[in-house]
Amino acid sequence: MKKAPIEWRIPEHIGIIMDGNGRWAKKRGLPRPIGHTYGAKTFKNITRYISRQGVKYLTLYAFSTENWKRPLEEVNALMKIFRQYLIDSLVNFREDDIKVVFIGDRSAFPSDIIQLINETEEIAKDRKGMQLNIAMNYGGRAEILSAVKQIYEDIRDGRMSEEELTEASVSSRLYTAGMPDPDLIIRTGGEHRLSNFMLYQAAYAEFYSTDTLWPDFSEKDFDKAVEEFNQRSRRFGGV
């Protein structure tokens, strides 16, 4: 990124909906899983680049609760990519001091993937750099439902009163508890929807969509998104 003017704001928390892997492969006459392989390379490169721009939290939408509905061959290919990435990530991002956290319902994954997720988080837990949240088997509606269930149980069992039910008490039961809400959400692939991503947290996030398919998403594309972010006037419901 070029040196930004002093008045530029670097988003504290950025979310990215990494869309377009399958279409990228189809345009080249390749099987869809090949697109995910190239998308994984972009994932590593862009994560490192973003961490060096001063962003404190980056949340990447890797696998949604709805993605299980995809063809079995594609789902199996994604699991294979996840395994390889997780093995790599045991040493990846060490130089950038990136802390790796997984959000979503990990219990649905095969046991070896769950073990790798746990090992990756354990190894990276004391790092002091940017926090990378990888959303796997994640859905915004499921996340909110889980928070509601926790609150219901706490009130039912006397651990919480109805008067204590606030926005803060809901936020504290989300996967992103303790993190700031995203300032900017980027979606690649040209679509203009959240697709069940961070529905509660994105209430006042700026949304940026680019036609660039995820495997082609570059440092220049990221810079353009931040430049656009700096042209927005964020009023949070005010004047």
Residue ranges covered by each domain of the chain: 13-139+181-225
Which one of 19, 181, 183, 221 is the catalytic residue?
A: 19
Q: Mapped to the 3 state alphabet, what secondary structure does the chain carry?
A: CCCCCCCCCCCCEEEEECCCHHHHHHHCCCCHHHHHHHHHHHHHHHHHHHHCCCCCEEEEEEEECCHHHCCHHHHHHHHHHHHHHHHHHCCCCCCCCCEEEEECCHHHCCHHHHHHHHHHHHHHCCCCCCEEEEEEEECHHHHHHHHHHHHHHHHHCCCCCHHHCCHHHHHCCCCCCCCCCCCEEEECCCCCCCCCCCCCHHHHCEEEECCCCHHHCCHHHHHHHHHHHCCCCCCCCCC
- Is residue 129 within 8 A of residue 99, CB to CB? The reply is yes
Residue 1: per-residue pLDDT: 55
pTM: 0.91
CATH of domain 13-139+181-225: 3.40.1180.10
Assess whether 19 carries a catalytic annotation: yes
What pLDDT is attached to residue 94?
84
Known catalytic residue: 97?
no
- Chunked in runs of 10, what are the mean pLDDT values of the chain (239 residues)? 62 97 96 92 94 97 92 89 80 86 94 93 94 96 97 96 94 97 98 97 97 98 96 72
Which of 21, 45, 67, 157 is catalytic? The answer is 67
The torsion angle over the Cα atoms of residues 82, 45, 184 and 212, rounded to 10 degrees, is: -90
Neighbours of 171 (CB within 10 A): 16
User: Which pLDDT does position 141 carry in this prediction?
Assistant: 97
